Amino acid sequence: MRNCNAACLLPLLAGTACVTAGQIHVPADFQAIQAAIDAATAGDEIIVAPGTYSGPINLSKGVVLRSENGPDETVLQWSGGGSVVVIESNDGATLAGFTVTGGNAQNGGGLFVAGDAVVADCIVRGNTATNGGGAFLVGSPTLSGVSFEDNNAGAGGAVCLGPDADAVIDNCAFSNNSADTGGGVYVGPGVGAGTFAVVGAGSFETNSADRGGGLFVACGGVEVDQSVFEANSAVSDGGAVELLDALPSTIRETRFENNNADERGGAVRVSGISDLLISNGTVTRNTAGRAGGGIDSDPGATLSVGGSTLFGNQPADIEGQWNDLGGNSFEQGPLCDADLAAPFGILDMNDIMAFIALFSAEDPAADFALPEGAFDLLDVVTFLNQYTGGCGQ
């Protein structure tokens, strides 16, 4: 028999489950998640055991709602119309460790998140909406470690930022989402200060849209850092990213590879009067049907590129008006130590012949293994392992 403290005694006599102060368990204390939320007070933690739970769920107070064993074992689903989870809180409400699926709404099929709420370590999969198939964001929410998969919408297949939202999207993954605009993320116009998103350590793969396969920014702004855009596609412009009349925006230390646009900007399209800085990036092997396999910029846009590597894009690495800030390279460097000879990026007989010549001359470039300066069989074996392994690609 459970021991209850005095604080639990009155609710117990009234027929309500005994709840440990500050912590509520589902289904041990309450069978339904919503009942646990309704009973909680600000600062409480609601811990949900593995299982599948039906929505909709409304979290409108400053509590932490988290799963016990993570999203693979704890599912929130809803097929009755509307968002699976609605979070409207300026008191630090947190949702963590769930799979969210099955929603269909005007705004936010999976999640409608308003205020300063946090969504962490969740999987948002298979939701649809007019705006934000996976999530619709208002206010200044944070998404951290969330994976968005197979969501669909008119704007923002995975995520759509509402007017004047100021969101942080950190360490999130976007794959196989689709939309008319912004297959992964849509940042739209604001009515006041403007809509803005900070995207850090993001992964955008195989998302698709008519415009902006991975990310579409219209009259808002974005800061993208240390992210990857790979194999995204657009029917029109911006295979990975399109900015249309965007506020001053930055993309730093980000890799674009194998993205495609049927029209312009296989990786990035800078449209209208957008203002974009790209620094220390890598733009490789992207394609476009008309112009700017890597990057394409309108005459009225302000595009500045510095410290970046661009090569192998078709029909060109960069087209249109842009400012060269210096430090840019339009040639591919070696894939790894075994890529010893031109053409770089391809391991072929030229690399083998270069290794033989360097090894025979005891050149440091052929000294692949310890001990340094020995030039022995271990160097040969290490070179061959890199070569046959394709530099680990």
Whether the bond into 11 is cis, omega within 30 of 0: no
> pTM value?
0.84
| Distance separating alpha carbons of residues 133 and 155, to the nearest angstrom | 8
- Write out pLDDT tens, residues 220-262: 999 999 999 999 999 999 999 999 999 999 999 999 999 999 9
Q: Where are the domains of the chain?
A: 19-324, 349-392
Tally the C-alpha atoms within 13 A of residue 200's C-alpha that lie toward its C-beta: 8
Give how far Cα 328 sits from Cα of 116, 305, 324, 334, Å. 39, 8, 8, 16
Query: What pLDDT shows up at residue 7?
Result: 32
| Distance separating alpha carbons of residues 381 and 273, to the nearest angstrom | 55
| Distance separating alpha carbons of residues 166 and 378, to the nearest angstrom | 55
* β-strand partners of 202: none
Each residue's pLDDT, cut to its tens digit, for the chain (393 residues) gives 233 333 332 333 333 444 444 999 999 999 999 999 999 999 999 999 999 999 999 999 999 999 999 999 999 999 889 999 999 988 889 999 999 999 999 999 999 999 999 999 999 999 999 999 999 999 999 999 999 999 999 999 999 999 999 999 999 999 999 999 999 999 999 888 889 999 999 999 999 999 999 999 999 999 999 999 999 999 999 999 999 999 999 999 999 999 999 999 999 999 999 999 999 999 999 999 999 999 999 999 999 999 999 999 999 999 999 999 999 998 877 778 888 887 777 788 998 999 999 999 999 898 989 888 989 999 899 999 998 888 876
Query: What pLDDT shows up at residue 393?
Result: 60
- Write out pLDDT tens, residues 326-378: 999 988 777 788 888 877 777 889 989 999 999 999 998 989 898 889 899 99
Within 8 A by CB and 6+ apart from 225, the residues are: 198, 199, 200, 201, 250, 252, 253, 254
Query: What pLDDT shows up at residue 4?
Result: 32
CATH-assigned architecture of domain 19-324 = 3 Solenoid (2.160)
Q: At what angle do helices 349-360 and 377-388 cross, to 10 degrees?
A: 170
Give how far Cα 164 sits from Cα of 130, 197, 226, Å. 18, 10, 24
| Distance separating alpha carbons of residues 140 and 301, to the nearest angstrom | 28
Q: Look up residue 249 and give its two tokens.
A: 């925006």
